[in-house]
Structure formats: structure tokens, C-alpha cells
């Protein structure tokens, strides 16, 4: 078939192979070339041309769209070269966009090409284009979600199987959900990059990812999950960005949260992702689906390719609604200035007056308690005390913890915010 859309792909791993497989269903699209690190590696798919030099693809005059599914930051200069050569870009690279998106989008606008990145945020869940099109009439006040399948799988298994974090991480690694080095997932980096991208498009402000508070799930114990369950909560790693008191300030962070079981997002299990948007006039809307995997991610990548294809050669500007038209950076408040309700798990000597000391410390920093529970003590000199506070400033809860921790008989074992 003549005049086929020519695609150049950088990266032929799990996702890259999925993209090739899905594109094979379209007679009017051709994978013209693929760039890989190891040309001799055995792969699931056959391609017309394979090279170890990604710049060949960036400079190839026959290539219409460059698809980047290699990941990492090393591809930045290749994409810059492709953009300068008037190539449209489709990428799944959340780290690159979170760290260098401003530069890349400015360059794309200068060269009248688009960067599409549906697969970079929530795998197979369509979220970027819906925000830019179907939900364009809305003024949003918050976006939040479960944006990392690995951590959600681990927390799900800790709850369902009553296993430790380490045991569930090992399970996730054996199933391929977690990398050998899981730091990017379990310490919240992956979710941080994704919420930076979402906040950018939801609030029309550039986001400095270094100002986003980040905390992973490595301190969550099976005991925390069990206690939360008894109190009517699930523990989830939540990435959220919201306006502060209807001002221009944003509160953006990633950390574990106790989520009320009555909230639908609490029921998101295993590697599934969810994105919850709140605004006017839509009120609340939630997108749920597979957040990773070969074909869910390929679905979003190929969807972006087809969106570009539909407008290619028909307009002077392809998909203008997807271009970045803002240049101001958001003012992101410090975590100390945020207000939250808190869950505290405290270990203390089982002796009179301990709960009184905790109460006095809370009173000193104007922290109201929603509930305080002492778990049963049998043949053990220590008691476990669970405290849930009402909303208070982060700086005040930290000062309270510092105060009671000066007592050698009281130790705050964990602090988790409540959604």
C-alpha cells in the first residue's frame, strides 16, 4: 500500500514488541526502523530494519513519527534531534517528561510538531486526551490516584495474605511486577513523575518535580495494614495534587495513605491503577484500568499514533489542543504547610499515664484526636497504642512526635496520613 505512515521505534523491549505487534494489524502503517542497544538479542517480533544508532531514526526523512519506549534520560538528545527534524513524538517516558518536559515541549511547539504521552502516566488507561478534550470545560481542584501497579500489588498481597513487605516484594519480583532493583517503584519515584505530568495538564502550570514530597511503602508493616482494616481503612500509595484553599498554590505529594473503605479507590487491587479527578462541573470522575504491561501500554502508544495519523497532512498544526501553551511554574507548598489527618502507631511501656502523656503532647500543639486505642497486652511489657488525629498541620504533628519521643518509654513506630 502506497503512502504508508512510517514509524521509527526507539526501544524493542516488552513494550516495544507490543507496539510492533499491535501496529501489524494496520495495513497503512509501517514500522520502518527500530533502534536497540543489542542487535543480536533474540526478540518476539521481526522488523524491517534494526540499528544500534537511534540518531538514524531521528534523522530519517521517511519517518513520520518517532516512538520512544526505551525509557531513561539518555534518549533526551535523540528526541531533540527528531523534533528538530520535524518528527512527531510518541513516548511512554514519564521520567524524561517530568524532568525535561518543559524543554521538549517548547522545542516541539517551535518546530510545529506534537509530543503525545498517554502511556507515560497510567499505562492502558486513557487520561491525557480525556482531560484535554472531553473534560476541557472543567476547572479542576484536585487529581489523585494509584499510579504504580507494583506498590499496589505489594500492598494488596500484604493485606490479603497477611505477609510482610519483604515477602510480597519477592512475590512481585518473581511475577515480573517489580524490578531487581525496585527503588523506583517502592520509594515512590515512579508515581512522583506521573503526578508531576498530571498536575501539569490539570492545572495548566509547569511542575518542578524536585518540590514534590515523596515517600514510599517500605515502612508499612502487615500490622499497620491489619489495624487499618479493623478501623475501616485500606492502605494505598496515593499520588495527589490539589489546590490549596482555592488559591494558586498547589499541594503535590506521593505517600502511603489510609483510605476509607467507603471510597471506591480503596477497592483498587493488585497491579490495577486509578485516577480520580475532582472539579466543576463534572464533580468527581474516576478512570480505572491496567497501569502497565505489554499490551495495555501498547494500546495507549498506538492510540497516540492513530490520533496523529488522523490529522497528519490535513491541518497546518496537528492536534493543537495537545500542545503546551503555558510557561509559568506552579507554587508548590512545603509538606510542613499541608494539613492532614494522621494515623500513628506508638509502642510504649505498659504503665499508667502513657496515654495521658500522648494526650497532653497533642494538646500542646493544638492537635485534636479522632480516636485513641490501646491494643491488648499479654505477657509483654509493651503496649501498642493507635492514634488517629483530626486535621492538623504537618509541622505540628512532627513537633508532637518529637516531644513524646523524648520519653524513652514511648516510640512512634509509624506515621501515615489519612485520605
Q: Is the pLDDT of residue 165 over 90?
A: yes
The predicted model gives 64-73 an average pLDDT of 97
The predicted model gives 43-71 an average pLDDT of 95
CA angle 233, 234, 240 (to 5 degrees): 105
Pick the residue with more confidence: 345 or 313? Answer: 345
| Total count of residues recorded for the chain | 419
Q: Is the pLDDT of residue 1 over 60?
A: no
> What pLDDT, on a 0 to 100 scale, did the predictor assign at position 146?
98
> What pLDDT, on a 0 to 100 scale, did the predictor assign at position 164?
94
The residues facing 192 across adjacent strands are none
Pick the residue with more confidence: 316 or 177? Answer: 177
pLDDT band at 218 (very low <50, low <70, confident <90, very high): very high
Q: Is the pLDDT of residue 15 over 60?
A: yes
The predicted model gives 242-268 an average pLDDT of 95
The structure's pTM equals 0.94
> What pLDDT, on a 0 to 100 scale, did the predictor assign at position 74?
96
The predicted model gives 329-349 an average pLDDT of 95
The domains located in the chain, with CATH, are: 5-123+294-325 (3.40.50.720), 128-291 (3.30.360.10), 338-418 (3.30.70.260)
> What pLDDT, on a 0 to 100 scale, did the predictor assign at position 152?
96
Cα separation, 292 vs 123, whole angstroms: 5
pLDDT digits (tens, 9 = 90+) for 95-141: 999 999 999 999 999 999 999 999 999 999 999 999 999 999 999 99
- Residues acting as catalytic residues: 194
Cα separation, 404 vs 216, whole angstroms: 25
pLDDT digits (tens, 9 = 90+) for 358-400: 999 999 999 999 999 987 665 567 889 999 999 999 999 999 9
Q: Is the pLDDT of residue 214 over 90?
A: yes
Pick the residue with more confidence: 42 or 56? Answer: 56
The residue assigned the cell 497516540 is: 304
CA angle 253, 254, 258 (to 5 degrees): 110
φ, ψ of residue 326 in degrees (nearest 5) = -125, 150
Average pLDDT over all residues of the chain: 94
The predicted model gives 183-212 an average pLDDT of 97
Cα separation, 219 vs 187, whole angstroms: 10
Name the percent of the chain lying above pLDDT 90.
85
CB 388 within 8 A of CB 342: yes
The predicted model gives 396-411 an average pLDDT of 94
Amino acid at each position: 500500500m502506497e503512502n504508508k505512515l512510517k514509524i521509527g521505534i526507539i526501544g524493542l523491549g516488552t513494550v516495544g514488541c507490543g507496539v510492533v505487534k499491535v501496529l501489524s494489524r494496520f495495513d497503512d502503517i509501517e514500522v520502518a526502523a527500530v533502534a536497540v542497544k543489542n542487535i543480536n538479542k533474540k526478540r518476539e517480533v521481526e522488523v524491517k530494519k534494526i540499528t544500534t544508532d537511534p540518531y538514524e531514526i531521528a534523522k530519517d526523512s521517511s519517518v513520520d513519527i518517532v516512538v520512544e519506549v526505551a525509557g531513561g534520560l539518555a534518549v533526551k538528545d535523540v528526541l531533540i534531534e527528531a523534533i528538530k527534524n520535524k518528527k512527531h513524538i510518541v513516548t511512554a517516558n514519564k521520567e524524561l517528561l517530568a524532568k525535561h518536559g518543559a524543554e521538549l515541549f517548547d522545542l516541539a511547539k517551535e518546530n510545529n510538531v506534537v509530543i503525545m504521552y498517554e502511556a507515560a502516566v497510567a499505562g492502558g488507561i486513557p487520561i491525557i486526551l480525556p482531560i484535554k478534550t472531553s473534560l476541557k470545560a472543567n476547572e479542576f481542584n484536585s487529581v489523585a490516584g494509584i499510579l504504580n501497579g507494583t506498590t499496589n500489588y505489594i500492598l494488596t498481597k500484604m493485606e490479603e495474605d497477611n505477609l510482610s513487605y519483604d515477602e510480597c516484594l519477592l512475590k512481585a519480583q518473581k511475577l515480573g511486577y517489580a524490578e531487581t532493583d525496585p527503588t523506583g517503584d517502592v520509594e515512590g519515584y515512579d508515581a512522583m513523575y506521573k503526578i508531576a505530568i498530571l498536575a501539569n495538564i490539570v492545572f495548566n502550570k509547569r511542575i518542578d518535580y524536585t518540590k514534590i514530597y515523596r515517600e514510599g511503602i517500605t515502612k508499612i508493616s502487615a500490622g499497620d495494614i491489619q489495624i487499618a482494616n479493623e478501623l475501616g481503612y485500606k492502605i494505598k500509595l496515593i499520588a495527589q495534587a490539589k489546590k490549596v484553599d482555592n488559591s494558586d498554590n498547589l499541594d503535590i505529594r506521593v505517600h502511603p495513605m489510609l483510605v476509607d473503605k467507603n471510597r471506591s479507590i480503596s477497592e483498587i487491587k493488585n497491579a490495577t491503577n486509578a485516577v480520580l479527578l475532582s472539579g466543576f462541573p463534572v464533580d468527581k470522575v474516576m478512570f480505572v484500568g491496567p497501569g502497565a504491561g505489554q499490551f495495555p501500554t501498547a494500546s495507549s502508544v498506538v492510540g497516540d499514533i492513530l490520533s496523529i495519523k488522523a490529522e497528519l497532512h490535513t491541518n497546518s498544526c496537528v492536534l493543537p489542543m495537545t500542545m503546551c501553551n503555558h510557561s509559568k511554574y506552579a507554587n508548590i507548598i512545603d509538606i510542613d504547610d499541608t494539613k492532614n489527618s494522621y494515623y500513628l502507631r506508638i509502642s510504649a511501656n505498659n504503665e499508667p499515664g502513657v496515654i495521658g502523656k500522648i494526650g497532653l503532647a497533642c494538646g500542646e500543639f493544638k492537635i485534636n484526636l479522632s480516636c485513641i486505642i490501646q491494643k491488648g497486652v499479654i505477657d509483654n511489657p509493651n503496649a501498642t497504642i493507635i492514634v488517629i488525629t483530626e486535621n492538623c498541620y504537618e509541622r505540628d504533628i512532627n513537633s508532637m512526635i518529637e516531644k513524646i519521643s523524648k520519653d524513652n518509654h514511648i516510640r512512634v513506630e509509624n506515621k501515615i496520613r489519612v485520605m
